[in-house]
Amino acid sequence: MTPKLLIIGCGNMGGAMLAGWLAEGADPSRFAVLDPALDDAPDGVTLYRSAGDVPGAHDAVLLGFKPQQLGALGPGLQGLTGERVTVCSLLAGITLAQLGHAFPQAAAHVRVMPNLAARINKSPVILSESGLDDAQRGGLFALFDALGSAVWLDDETQFDLVTALAGSGPGFVYRFIDALAGAAVDLGLDDGTAAALALATVEGAAALAAGSDVAPATLADRVASPGGMTREGLNVLDENAALRRLLTETLRATRDKGAALSQGG
């Protein structure tokens, strides 16, 4: 059985996930939201304003507030995270051990990291768990896999790095799209044309890469004829591994922030 889920804090990510589940055809009555600031919930999804209003008819909760709020909000959620409830967490940097400390009566604890593409059922979803039995593990996998492609991560020490890549990665891609368009503007193209072409280029390239049986590096070489225009541009990105070094530093900074968040930083 796929669990009935209470989403606690339905912001950008929680909202995207809920939209993805409903778009996939999930029964809205399987979901409820606890959020005092949310204007309204989708049709068929019950919205609660305070923890005391929730009747407790859920199998799992999904924590969608900011990780820095765990210490303040955790004690007030104890009544919703009892012995038969699985606590699933979107809280970046918060470890399974910390979840266990914050919600000691819960049946199990699960770290979950999707990205905003969950809204269109195109998100990778990274999962790491403690305390699930096989049936629960299967049910939760089915729930999150509906948002795109779920993967269990056995080594939790890699979770912050995977979060940097798959959770934060869309932000970096959006920045690349903006920079690609901005570079064309700097060289004389008008804003609207540059933005439209940059977005269409990245969309098409990503779709082609996703459906290809060769690596993106090979696709890049296929685009670049020896001595041609594309090769000249790739030479700039490839010199001294400039692009890879930049992205290594980007992922390192993002990963390390996860560790800092777990320590309250």
- Decide: 69 and 237 in contact? Cβ < 8 Å: no
Using alpha carbons only, how large is the chain's radius of gyration in Å?
A: 21
Residue 103: inside a domain: yes
pLDDT for residue 27: 95
Between CA 244 and CA 242 the distance in angstroms is 6
Query: CATH number for the domain including 203?
Result: 1.10.3730.10
Query: CATH number for the domain including 110?
Result: 3.40.50.720
User: Is residue 60 within a helix (H) or strand (E), and if so which, with residue range?
Assistant: strand 60-63
pLDDT for residue 10: 95
| Residue 28 belongs to domain spanning | 5-157
Domain count, the chain: 2
pLDDT for residue 1: 53
- Decide: 219 and 212 in contact? Cβ < 8 Å: yes
Please report, for the chain, how many H helices and E strands are present, in that order.
10, 8
pLDDT for residue 265: 66
If asked whether residues 150 and 174 sit together in one domain, one would say no
Residue 163: inside a domain: no
Residue 45: inside a domain: yes
If asked whether residues 9 and 79 sit together in one domain, one would say yes
pLDDT for residue 120: 96
Which residues of the chain fall below pLDDT 70? Answer: 1-2, 265
